[in-house]
Amino acid sequence: MKRLVFFLVLALLPGLAGAEALDVLIEEKARAEFGATLPDTGEFEITLKAGGLEEAVMLSAFWMDRATGQFVANAVTGEGELRRVTGLALLTVPVPVPVRRLMPEEIIAEADLRVLRLPHGRVGSFAVTRVEDLVGMQVRSLLAQGRPVMAQSVQAPRIIDRGDKVAIRYTDGLLELTAPGRALADAHRGQEVKIVNLVSNASVVGIATAEGVVEVTR
Q: How far apart are CA 116 and CA 74, in angstroms?
A: 33
Q: What is the pTM of this model?
A: 0.68
Contact 91, 119 (CB under 8 A): yes
Tens-binned pLDDT, residue by residue, of the chain (218 aa): 444 444 444 444 444 456 789 999 999 999 999 999 999 999 999 999 877 788 999 999 999 999 899 999 999 998 889 999 999 999 999 999 999 999 999 999 999 999 999 999 889 889 999 999 999 999 999 999 999 999 999 998 888 999 999 999 988 777 888 999 999 999 988 899 999 999 999 999 999 988 889 999 87
CATH class of 93-155: alpha beta
CA distances from 76 to 30, 73, 95, 186 (A): 17, 10, 37, 65
| E-state strands within 80-121 | 82-98, 113-119
Yes or no: domain 159-217 corresponds to CATH 2.40.50.100: no
Do β-strands 213-217 and 165-171 pair in parallel, antiparallel, or remain unpaired?
A: parallel
The domain limits of the chain are 2-38+45-86, 93-155, 159-217
